[in-house]
Structure 1
Amino acid sequence: MPAPTATRANVPGLAAAAAAVVLCLLLHRVFPAVPVLTAAVILGLAVGNVPGPAGLAAGPWRPGLALAAKRFLRLGIVLLGLKVSLVDIAGLGWLTVVLIIALVGFSFGATYLVCRAFRLPGEEPVLVAAGFSICGVSAIGAVAAARGVRSEQAAVPAAMVTLCGTLAIAVLPLLSVVLGVSPERFGFLAGASVHDVGQVVATAQTGGAAALALAVVVKLVRVLMLAPVSALAGLQHRRRAGNSGDGKFPPLVPLFVAGFVAAVALRTTGLLPGGLLEAAAVLQELLFAAALFGLGASVNLRSLARTGGRAAAASLLSWAVIVASALALAVLLVPSA
């Protein structure tokens, strides 16, 4: 049980995160084109780097913001499992599911190689690859935990995956019009190439109900890969650490990832009422927004300037490769209307 002093130390930062989430929700209501999670990242970056607020973020707010960045993100990942039904995924057919999983593997490998080519530091190539290939900031948090990466080291990958996912909301509908892509193929493209579930919904709904329905199910196949990919990433980290003589290992499958799997199983039973699932989805977005605000506030823009350009270039190139691959798979698998 946390000590009372430690609990009190978290209050200012948690209050700041709560206020930031409310502000982001209001901003999204006034400007619906601005996603809540993107607003949270940008606001966090501002708070962490503007004189005055930056002192608070690095001082009295720091314990609470760190708690939000780590714990709230993990709770949100558990709730994410309540969106995944194995029954819905099975409806795609085994060949489609296998090819989507293959696309996840290709996307991970291609993004990792691109990030290495751009010389991104430390664990950033693995984290960006996980975020782009699976489910955005959720995958970054899961892989970071499996590899023992501190929350602040995941801040730049989280920012990149959130900002590129937001870019997709505007770019993919325009691309589909230019290329004359059918609504069904557009839905597959959105589900197979956009990072966060909320961003997939925002993108695919522009193509109509058929596009949205297919996009969500395709995306859920990618989300389902969260557990095995984080486990594989953790196993590779253990082997590397074992060879270096370091005997300290994070859990191969973090507890919150096990919670995600349990939530998937619970959703698949069909026993949960729709109202509860809707409430869980809202709570997940609020938790993610608070976590991204905390992560953004931990980023030093002066330090980011040294690698931020490379990270942005690597992210954009990786996403372009993923979009092209997803479009090719959509043409292969989805009949044209």
Structure 2
Amino acid sequence: MTATGSPNSFFQDLPNRVRALFPGVLVAIIVAITAQFLADHYDTPAMLMALLLGIAVAFLGDEGKTVEGIAFAARTILRLGIAFLGVRISFELMAGLGLELVLLVIGGVAATIAFGLLISRFFGHGWRFAFLTAGSVAICGASAALAISAILPKDDRSEQRLIFTVLGVTVLSTIAMVAYPILVTQLGMDDTSGGIFLGATIHDVAQVVGAGFSISESAGDTATLVKLIRVSMLAPVVLIAALLIRTFAEAPEDGSRPPLLPIFVIGFLALATLNSFNLIPTPVADLMSQASRWMLLIAIAAVGMKTNLKRVLAVGGAAIGLLVTETLFIAALILAGIYYFA
């Protein structure tokens, strides 16, 4: 081991590293706290507020002492937050709904991703954007978009595609939170069927909870359970995608490849397994779940601060059309499945 790579060198350099990262990370934390305050007082999605506030101070990500820390928050804190999501998952979730409905939820995720990849060419977009949007629609909105973006080969439009997707799925999820409970009532669905529909189709967890409990406590519990099963699909989807990308995607110019198994996916799976066997005490799991939510909020604030809004808006109307079409597809598919199994 060389002197530069020695443990002593690492610890000697640590104070300098912390000083370099601190201003940017602190700004991201402040933006996240502000976003949560606004979300609590004005009933708006915290993720959306963090993103918009981050964009409003995007100059901090371009130059100055905050640049390095903002980049750290947008990458490392993001991946740690995704790994911590594993504490929300357990095998018991699967058993709670029955095999048919679990297969419907899993099939809905797979079919939506395949559908997005299939139709993206008609909207003038490539596989990267298609997988990013379809995966976020199919699994868990902004969190899935962040996780999928972390494994996609990077180019000069990667951050713009991510920002657009996070904005799009958050707005559509908020619309669905209001519109879908009305649809459930109009269709005369009971609490169980309505909860399944809401949990299997609305993108973000917070909006699923809001929509479900706006109908009844029973519908809210069912919707949350179904949504967490969709969240549990994040790790296998990202793992399979990472393997396919590593095998078939064209390597970047520097010849680097994504890791065979991303570390944050290993963390997600390890925590989900430990939680399934009740090896994580409930207070610790609750604390890690809250930590995950805050890490993702900080990360999305940092991503916003690294954003060029003009380039995001340049993604265009076809991208909006693709995102809306994928959203309508999963809603129609799940609705048909509910009536089929009823």
Q: TM-score, normalised by structure 1?
A: 0.88
Kindly tell me the number of residue pairs found equivalent between the two proteins: 327
1:252 is aligned to 2:260: yes
How far apart are the structure 2 equivalents of 1:163 and 1:71? 26
Bigger shift: 107-116 or 149-158?
149-158
Q: How far 1:108 sits from its partner (Å)? A: 0.7
Bigger shift: 313-322 or 257-266?
313-322
Q: How far 1:235 sits from its partner (Å)? A: 2.2
**1:108–1:133 CA contact under 8 A, matched in 2:** yes
1:47 is aligned to 2:47: no
Q: How far 1:133 sits from its partner (Å)? A: 1.1
**Secondary structure of residue in 2 paired with 1:139:** helix
**Secondary structure of residue in 1 paired with 2:53:** helix
**2:136–2:144 CA contact under 8 A, matched in 1:** yes
Q: How far 1:121 sits from its partner (Å)? A: 5.4
Residue 65 to residue 120, structure 1, CA distance change in 2 (3 Å): farther
Identity %: 33
**2:50–2:301 CA contact under 8 A, matched in 1:** yes
Q: How far 1:286 sits from its partner (Å)? A: 1.0
Give unmatched runs, 5+ long, in structure 2. Answer: 1-9
How far apart are the structure 2 equivalents of 1:97 and 1:75? 27
1:35 is aligned to 2:35: no
Q: How far 1:245 sits from its partner (Å)? A: 9.8
Q: How far 1:189 sits from its partner (Å)? A: 0.9
**Secondary structure of residue in 2 paired with 1:123:** helix
Q: Could you tell me which residue of structure 2 aligns to residue 81 of structure 1?
A: 86
Q: Could you tell me which residue of structure 1 aligns to residue 20 of structure 2?
A: 9
1:177 is aligned to 2:182: no
Q: TM-score, normalised by structure 2?
A: 0.87
How far apart are the structure 1 equivalents of 2:316 and 2:290? 31
Q: How far 1:105 sits from its partner (Å)? A: 0.9
How far apart are the structure 1 equivalents of 2:179 and 2:302? 28
Q: How far 1:294 sits from its partner (Å)? A: 1.3
Q: Could you tell me which residue of structure 2 aligns to residue 51 of structure 1?
A: none
- Please give the per-residue CA displacement for 1:75-104, whole angstroms capped at 9, x wherever unaligned: 111111111110121222222222221111
Letter in 2 for 1:69: A
The match for 1:115 among 111, 117, 120 is: 120
Q: How far 1:163 sits from its partner (Å)? A: 2.6
- Please give the per-residue CA displacement for 1:270-329, whole angstroms capped at 9, x wherever unaligned: 243333232222222211111111112222121122214332222122111111112222
How far apart are the structure 1 equivalents of 2:44 and 2:251? 46
> Map of 1:61-80 to 2, 5 A cutoff?
61-80=66-85
The match for 2:338 among 323, 326, 330 is: 330
> Map of 1:140-159 to 2, 5 A cutoff?
140-149=145-154, 152=159, 154-159=162-167
1:222 is aligned to 2:233: no
Give unmatched runs, 5+ long, in structure 1. Answer: 49-53
**2:199–2:225 CA contact under 8 A, matched in 1:** yes
**Secondary structure of residue in 1 paired with 2:219:** helix
The match for 1:24 among 11, 35, 38 is: 35
How far apart are the structure 2 equivalents of 1:62 and 1:246? 24
How far apart are the structure 2 equivalents of 1:172 and 1:87? 27
